[in-house]
Every structure is written in structure tokens, then in C-alpha cells.
Structure 1
Amino acid sequence: MSFIISLLVTGFLVFILAKILPGVSVESYGAAVGVAFVLGILNAIVRPVLAFLSFPITFLTLGLFSLVITAVIILLASAIMGKKFHVDGFLSALIFGVVLGIARAIIG
């Protein structure tokens, strides 16, 4: 049950942030929930692989490279979702990821 609530809250945050931030667009609230689901799957499967492969550079940058991994995950979600969720570029994905992470930390 908490997974569903977390998915709905993250979908709401994605929907609101897409309306506020330039360079990010989402078609509807349903698409935003879909984006939240895709982000969850990508964070569970792809993020650990990327984190493992990029450990040396993450160590050298004192963890700041994890922001790049976050942006890559969001760009992958944008590619998977097609026209329902679109991010203009790397900088938009980076800002969206940081703000989404902060908002989730505040709400959660």
C-alpha cells in the first residue's frame, strides 16, 4: 500500500514540477504517474549498474557525479515515455532531478 501512495505522490510531484520548470513537459497526471513508475524501475535496475561502473569518478568528485547519473536516468525515462513526458536536455534533466529529489525528501 505504501508503494502505491509513494507512486501517486511522486506522480503528483512530477506533474507539478513539469508545469513549473522550463524544459520539462508532461501530458497529464496519468502520464506523470507512469513517469514515476518508470523512474522507479530505472532507479531499481539501471542506477546500481551506473553507480558501480562510475564509482571511481564519483569518488573523485566527492559524490557529485551521482547528479549526472540522476540526469541520465531522467533522460532515459523521457526516451521511454515518448511524447507523454519530454525533457529538453541534460541541464533540464539535472535541475528536474535535483528539485524532484528535494521535494521527495521534504514530503517523504
Structure 2
Amino acid sequence: MGILLRLAVNAVALWIATLLISGIYLDTDSVIGQIGTLVAVAAIFGVVNAILRPIIKTVGCAFYVFTLGLIALVVNGLLFLLTGWIADQLGLPFKVEGVLSAILGALIVGVISWAINLAIPDKD
């Protein structure tokens, strides 16, 4: 149940990012298509973060220390851009245009996910 809740939270955060940033958008007008796309992209984003983020943090540990963690914004943006590329390769109507849009989108998704997860407590 926790995975489904986190998937829904990330889908809502992605939807808000598409509303706020002009470089991130959905190419479908159907509400059902938008919901399905957002859930699929949230799943892709979760898998990309689960697989690549620990590797990048381990390999780039010195950059994280040297930049006092600010490189995490760029890394998150690049992972968001990768998510958009994978979604495009899978034929999903989710587009991310440019690194700046990706960095802002990742920042918005991260902040909104964090805020929603604060409002919904874990049962652990």
C-alpha cells in the first residue's frame, strides 16, 4: 500500500510541475490519458531514482561535499530529464524540454512530494 501511495503522491507532484513549468507538459487532452501518463511517468521516475541515484551519490561523493550538496539539484534535474527521455521512448505523451526545465521540475516534484508525505504519515 505504501508504494501505491508514493506513486500517487509523485503523480500529483508531476501534474503540478506540468502546470507550473512551461517546459514540462503532457501531449494529451484526455483526462484518463493524463492520469495514466502521470502514473506511468511517476513509476519511471521512481525506478530511475532507485537505480541511478545511489550509484551517482557514491561515485560523485566528492562533488557533493565540494559543492555542499548543491550538485544534487543538477543530478535530480538530469534524472528528471532522463525520465522524460525514457517516457518519450516508450511513447508516453510526457515531454521535458531543456535542462533548466528539468532542474526546476525536479525541484518542484521533490518539494511537493516532501510536503504531501509530511501530511500523510507513514504507518511504520
Same fold (TM over 0.5): yes
Residue 10 of structure 1 and its aligned partner are, at CA, apart by: 1.3
The structure in which a higher percent of residues are helix is 1
Question: Hey, what does 1:44 align to over in structure 2?
Answer: 50
Cα deviation code 1:9-34 (max 9, x no counterpart) = 21122122212211001241211111
How much is the aligned-residue C-alpha RMSD, in angstroms? 1.2
Equivalences for residues 1-108 of structure 1 within 5 A: 1-26=1-26, 27=28, 28-82=34-88, 83-108=92-117
Query: Counterpart amino acid of 1:73?
Result: L
Equivalent pairs, count: 108
Partners of 2:14 and 2:38 within 8 A in 1: yes
Q: Which runs of 5+ in 2 are unaligned?
A: 29-33, 118-124
- Secondary structure of the residue aligned to 2:57 is helix
- State the 4+ residue runs in structure 1 displaced beyond 6 angstroms: none
Q: Which has the higher contact order (CA 8 A, sep 6+)?
A: 2
Partners of 2:13 and 2:108 within 8 A in 1: no
Partners of 2:44 and 2:83 within 8 A in 1: yes
For residues 48 and 88 of structure 1, the distance between their equivalents in structure 2, rounded to whole angstroms, comes to 25
TM score, norm. by length of structure 2: 0.82
Question: Hey, what does 2:121 align to over in structure 1?
Answer: none
Partners of 1:51 and 1:69 within 8 A in 2: no
- Secondary structure of the residue aligned to 2:68 is coil
Identity %: 30
Q: Which runs of 5+ in 1 are unaligned?
A: none
